[in-house]
Structure formats: C-alpha cells, structure tokens
Structure 1
Amino acid sequence: MPLKADIKILVVDDMSTMRKIIKNMLGQIGFTNITEADDGATAWPMMENAIKEGAPYEFIVSDWNMPQMSGLDLLKKVRATPGLEKLPFLMITAEAEQGNVVIAVKAGVSNFIVKPFSAAVLKEKIDKIFK
C-alpha cells in the first residue's frame, strides 16, 4: 500500500453501525488514524478545527444521505474552501442512480462507492483516489 497507515481519515455517516463497519474495513486495509462524525454538520467544524491545529484531515469518507448536512453539501463546502479543493473525498451512497453519480462528479467527488460494499472494493476505490 503506497499510503501511510496513519493518514488522517474522517468517516462521516449518520448511522453509527455504518461508521463502525467503515472504520473496521479501513482498519483491515491497514489504516490506523480514523475519526468519525455523525453528520456533515458535525464533520465541518471538526475539519475547520483540524486545519487550525495544523493537522488537517487527509481523506474524507462520507455518506450521501444525512439529516442536517448531506455528504453532497459537505463535499461542496470542502471544494469551496481554499486549501481543501483537492482533499480526497470518497462518497458512499445507497443510491446507484446515474444522476447522483453525475451530481457528485460535478461537485468534485474523488470517487464513489455504492452500498453494500466489501473491504476489497473500498481498498480498490481508495487506491484509485491516491494513485
């Protein structure tokens, strides 16, 4: 794996079970520095604080559908923020609708994964993002 194991990852999903599954998969792949947020609205201030502390997140794995701030809104906010325009962002969704993929790509998503997925698929998507 070309990536550092301690790359700073933020997993954003409103379902704690899903966050746990994603964290476990990331752990299986070999990542060790994983933080979680339960919504885009929670994730954003965490990201701002991390930047202030000089240790910004290096990779975001976010669900699309969340109550207060969706993954798409979080992505748009990230892309509109100086210094974060290129932050690797993996969107997870239950909707395999072509339209959503197009919307996410236009908004600048790094890659896209559809639920359900395996650790192998997650690794493949991450490898594509970081190559």
Structure 2
Amino acid sequence: MKVMLVDDSKTMRNIQKGILAQLGYSEIEEAADGLDALSKVGAFQPELLLVDWNMPNMDGLTFVKKYREQGHKTPIIMVTTEAEKSRVVEAIKAGVNNYVVKPFTPDVLGGRIKETLERVQAA
C-alpha cells in the first residue's frame, strides 16, 4: 500500500515511517508541507495520507481542502497536536477520515490506520 507522510518535521516522518514499516507498509513518499504534497500526489498516487496540521507554506487543513476539491477520495488521517474538539470537527468537515493526536503510540497510530481502511472499504 502506498502511504504519503505530510509533516514539516523530519523526525515525526521518521517515527511514522518506522511504525508503518512494522505494519508492513514499505511504499512511502514524504512531503515537508502541503505545497510539497500537492506537487507529489499526482505521480505517487497514495492510497493513504497521514497529514500534519501545522506546517509552513501550506498547512494540513488547506492541503486537505485542495486535495478534496480535486476529487480525490483517498483516506486521510490528520496527525497533529491540535486536540480541541472544534479543530477535530473542522478537519472532519474538510474531508479528513480520521484523527490522531500527537504524541501517539505505535498501537494508536496502527489502530487508526486499520480502522480508517476498514471503514473506507466497507463504504
């Protein structure tokens, strides 16, 4: 499965890559912000995106809106420090399929990925 990690923190992308590797995902593309991600999604064709909210150039919420406007249905999990309920609701309205608050454990991220993919396949 092809997964795109969109986060301005190289360390966070490395943590996510390690967890994804443990889960058996090896096709991973990285983007440092929303603009970088938009320039790469067409060629990479991800089957899942893990997107941070707070990034320079283009934040995660703006990226999600632009990506959805292009007609993409790919599942998106917002992985962020933004934990307020209003922010979660805002992200879901923008088209996010699931939400993980940092810091997270490998079990939490793995569980959300599994849950998200099961929900999308069932729909």
Same fold, judged at TM 0.5 (above): yes
- Unmatched tracts of structure 1, length 5 or more: 1-6, 51-55
> More helix by proportion, 1 or 2?
2
Cα pair 1:13 1:39 within 8 Å, conserved: yes
Q: Does 1:70 align with 2:59?
A: yes
1: distance between equivalents of 2:80 and 2:46?
21
CA contact (8 A) 1:29 1:119 kept: no
Aligned twin of 1:116: 103
Post-superposition shift, 1:48? 2.3
Q: Which runs of 5+ in 2 are unaligned?
A: 119-123
CA distance in 1, matches of 2:22, 2:42: 28
* Counterpart check, 1:15 vs 2:9: yes
**What is the CA RMSD across the aligned residues, in angstroms?**
0.9
State percent identity of aligned pairs. 44
Cα deviations by residue, 1:17-49 (Å, 9 ceiling, x for unpaired): 111011111111111111111111101010123
Provide the C-alpha distance between the structure 2 equivalents of 1:48 and 1:29, rounded to a whole number of angstroms.
25
Q: Over residues 66-96 of structure 1, what are the superposed CA-to-partner deviations in whole Å (9 max), with x where a residue is unaligned?
A: 01111111110111112x1x21001011121
Deviation above 6 Å: which 4+ runs of structure 1? Answer: none
CA distance in 1, matches of 2:52, 2:31: 11
**Counterpart residue number, 1:80:** 69
Q: What pairs up with 1:1-131 in 2 under 5 angstroms?
A: 7-50=1-44, 56-82=45-71, 84=72, 86-131=73-118
Distance in 1 between the 2:106 and 2:8 partners?
Answer: 20
Specify the code of the residue in structure 2 equivalent to 1:64: W
